Amino acid sequence: MRWAVLVGGTGSNLKALLAFGLRVDLVVSHRPGVGALDIAAEHGVPARVILPKDYADRLAYDQAVCACLEEFGIEAVAMAGFLRWLSPAVTARYRGAILNLHPSLLPSYTGLHAIERAFTDRVLWSGVTVHFVDEGHDTGPIVAQVPVPRLLEDTPADFERRIHQAEHHLYPRAIQAVDQGWVRFIDGMVSHQGGNREWMHGR
């Protein structure tokens, strides 16, 4: 499959995907000058910056993103630091083929600042979730999760570092599973295949 990665930040997950050996055909950023664009350039991955301020509204912006994905023949999309909610213009076009990475064990701590909020609440465990993107906010069917402990001696930075390490491990493997068809989105559910077994789950 031809994959695009949607970014907007430091690009540590983009780097992890590339280091894992996944092929990335396009990077789209909603912010200029971010680390993720440097990483794309270092790896020779074509990149486009599409700025929200250049479009009248969210729909026009998302249509521009979609047009760019179409131009590059993109079949599947991985979000990694793209801090914008996608409208159905994108989610419907790529249904079952858009993944998001979220730094908590969803459905806990949806939205922004999930790591800081979990730390402030002194949770024993948080974690990382990869899910298919639907029209809701961090609500799509879950592909994979990994728990991450908050240790007693952790500073916020320690805890955040451990969450990011888990992201860098989980996301490439989840993308590979979708790319290879081991995990599929079927009627709003997630199908997993392993050996000669198949099992489904939803939320």
Catalytic residues: 102
Those residues whose C-beta lies under 8 Å from the C-beta of residue 33, and which sit 6 or more positions away, are none
Q: Minimum distance between the CB of residue 104 and ligand GRF, rounded to whole angstroms? A: 9
**Applying CB under 6 A, which part among 3-11, 89-97, 151-159, 184-192 lies near ligand GRF?**
3-11
Q: Minimum distance between the CB of residue 152 and ligand GRF, rounded to whole angstroms? A: 23
140 near ligand GRF (CB under 6 A): no
**3-state SS assignment for residue 71:** helix
Per CB under 6 A, contacts with ligand GRF among 20-39 are: 36
CB 163 within 8 A of CB 115: yes
12 near ligand GRF (CB under 6 A): yes
Q: Minimum distance between the CB of residue 81 and ligand GRF, rounded to whole angstroms? A: 3
Those residues whose C-beta lies under 8 Å from the C-beta of residue 16, and which sit 6 or more positions away, are 167, 168, 169, 171, 172
Output 108 or 193, the one with its CB closest to ligand GRF.
Answer: 108
Q: What is the DSSP string of 191-203?
A: EEEETTEEEEE--
Member of 13, 29, 91, 126 binding ligand GRF (CB under 6 A): 13
Q: Minimum distance between the CB of residue 100 and ligand GRF, rounded to whole angstroms? A: 7
How far is it, in rounded angstroms, from Cα 1 to Cα 134?
A: 20
Q: Minimum distance between the CB of residue 199 and ligand GRF, rounded to whole angstroms? A: 26
Which strand (E) or helix (H) includes residue 75? none
Output 62 or 167, the one with its CB closest to ligand GRF.
Answer: 167
108 near ligand GRF (CB under 6 A): no
Q: Look at strands 142-149 and 125-132 and give their pairing.
A: antiparallel
Tell me the Cα Rg of the chain. Answer: 17
Chain centre distance of CA 51: 19
Per CB under 6 A, contacts with ligand GRF among 44-103 are: 80-81, 101-103
Contacts with ligand GRF by CB under 6 A lie at: 7, 9-14, 36, 80-81, 101-103, 167
